[in-house]
Amino acid sequence: MVTPEEQGLLQLFAKLVPKGQWQELEKGKKRPQIYTLPVVVVAMMILQRLSERGTQEEAVNRLLLGQLDHLLPESKRVEEERISPNTGGYAKACGQVPVEVVESITDQLLEELGKRIESQPELQVALLLLDGSSLQLEHVPELLEDFPAGSNQYGEGHWGIVKWVGLHDVQTGIALRPEWGPMYGKEAVSEQQLARAVLKRAPEGSVVLGDSNFGIFVFAYEAVSLQHPVLFRLNKPRALSLAGGKRLAKGERKVVWRASAWERKKYLELPPEAQIEGRLIVVQQKGFREPLYLFTTLLEPQETVVAWYLKRWNMELDLRTLKHTMGLHHLRGKSTAMVEKELLVAVVAYGLVRAFMALAARRAGLAPRQLSFTRAYGLVNALIGRLCTADAEERQKAYERILNYVAKAKLPKRSKRRSYPRAVWGRGKTYPKRGTLNRDGKSK
């Protein structure tokens, strides 16, 4: 039996954005015959990202096979089935969609997805995981100008690098719209700068959880000022300073965190009276070589706070999933605008799969994190055509089938614990032979 929340998600997947919203976004533009905004952004760019191959040709083929007829405008070419099988028109249409429009659609879709997932009772508050990563870009002049490559003792790197920061829901993994910027060069941005921008999109009252990279006063103060309880890991020197230079005994103590003289000099926007009242928790946790130094403004018991922080590792797994399962480790766009749109569309597609997992888990009485994202992604990829067909009955059958099979995609239970902490292993990248290409990507 389909619940109202599930039916709402099914309709969201088929339509995604209300008709009036599309008309508002397309206001003042010449009406295209085939590639309208809903067709390009929703039915093709998102479905292209959900597809295993992820090519423009595959997206156009879905259009030719009639899977997107319910989104196509009334047109003579549509009625006479004279849609061109070439990808040029689709590629041109993708390039003409402004990044600001895709950002607006992304915010709306991710918000709607979050509304359709009921929170689980074990968490009394919304808990958001914060972390950042880096992505590789194509070797083209425009991208190297906006996102320079890194360098080491052997010289300048080949690929442009973009740094990005996101906030993910701890239960479902659904993300908010991320922030990004250059990792290297004169305009390079820090993860803390990007985090301050993405923090403004977090729902009021949600707990922000991050590692020691974000456990600095200026960021914690901004989060608290925006009415967010915080839970951050601190490095040992910062924890010692917060404790007044005393020995860090295990347990917890109330502290008042104030900015250092260096921070006040660097961040002139901090008010003179800026301070945060909270708790410093020191605990030795199995799997960690050193004690955990946690600062929080939460009022929950110490055991609960520590248990919540241990969920931070889910963010590392989410980033790995986005980069490798969703193919974001190397973006294929040839311009800054296309790279940004590619990133946004991938986050929406990722959120849709996570939403299906959350609903399937609820049917099976499981937690969403107990299900395999890779298997769920494969099932969505296999049934994506039927999920988007104009035939409501066929779409409903596909929807029921995917939820039933995703609910069975449980992660394996290990017979014994690992003898080492769970870790994300790096993957190598093949570089072109030295001297074969210049900075413009042309052969020498």
Residue 40 has pLDDT above 80, yes or no: no
Looking at the fold, whether 341 and 315 belong to one and the same domain comes out as no
- How many domains are contained in the chain? 2
Q: Which of 46-50, 153-157, 161-165, 275-279 has the lowest mean pLDDT?
A: 46-50
Residue 187 lies in a domain: yes
Looking at the fold, whether 173 and 284 belong to one and the same domain comes out as yes
Residue 233 has φ and ψ, to the nearest 5°, of -85, 140
Looking at the fold, whether 197 and 294 belong to one and the same domain comes out as yes
Looking at the fold, whether 356 and 292 belong to one and the same domain comes out as no
Q: Higher pLDDT residue, 299 or 63?
A: 299
For 305-308, which contacts have Cβ atoms below 8 Å and span 24 or more sequence positions? 305/231, 305/279, 305/281, 306/281, 308/123, 308/127, 308/170, 308/207, 308/209, 308/231
Looking at the fold, whether 188 and 303 belong to one and the same domain comes out as yes
Looking at the fold, whether 165 and 267 belong to one and the same domain comes out as yes
Question: Which tens digit of pLDDT belongs to each residue from 118-170?
Answer: 666 566 778 999 999 999 999 999 999 999 999 888 888 899 999 999 999 99
pLDDT at 396: 82
Looking at the fold, whether 373 and 399 belong to one and the same domain comes out as yes
- Interval 217-239 mean pLDDT: 94
CA–CA separation, 115 and 110 (whole Å) = 9
Residue 428 lies in a domain: no
Query: Which residues are paired to 234 by β-bridges?
Result: none
Domain limits for position 56: 4-100+337-407
Residue 401 lies in a domain: yes
Residue 420 lies in a domain: no
Domain boundary pick from 272, 287, 319: 319
* Cα torsion 431, 141, 198, 13: sign: negative
Query: Which residues are paired to 404 by β-bridges?
Result: none
Q: How far apart are the two ends of the chain, measured CA to CA in Å?
A: 63
Tell me the longest C-alpha to C-alpha distance in the chain: 80
Looking at the fold, whether 125 and 206 belong to one and the same domain comes out as yes
Which residues, 6+ apart, have CB-to-CB distance to 145 below 8 Å? none
Residue 162 lies in a domain: yes
**pTM for this predicted structure:** 0.85
Looking at the fold, whether 270 and 368 belong to one and the same domain comes out as no
Looking at the fold, whether 45 and 129 belong to one and the same domain comes out as no
Most confident region among 35-44, 105-114, 415-424, 429-438 by mean pLDDT: 105-114
Residue 285 lies in a domain: yes
Among 155, 149, 215, 152, residue whose Cα is nearest residue 188: 149
As a whole number, the mean pLDDT across the chain is 82
Residue 224 has pLDDT above 90, yes or no: yes
Contact (Cβ atoms closer than 8 angstroms) between residue 355 and residue 116: yes
CA–CA separation, 382 and 377 (whole Å) = 9
Most confident region among 95-104, 122-131, 223-232 by mean pLDDT: 223-232
Percent of the chain with pLDDT over 90: 44
CB atoms within 10 A of CB 283: 17
Looking at the fold, whether 170 and 254 belong to one and the same domain comes out as yes
CB atoms within 10 A of CB 127: 22
Residue 440 lies in a domain: no
Question: Which tens digit of pLDDT belongs to each residue from 423-442?
Answer: 555 555 555 555 555 555 55
CA–CA separation, 101 and 422 (whole Å) = 39
Looking at the fold, whether 14 and 42 belong to one and the same domain comes out as yes
pLDDT at 50: 77
CA–CA separation, 140 and 380 (whole Å) = 33
CA–CA separation, 411 and 408 (whole Å) = 9
Residue 288 lies in a domain: yes
Among 116, 120, 108, 228, residue whose Cα is nearest residue 170: 120
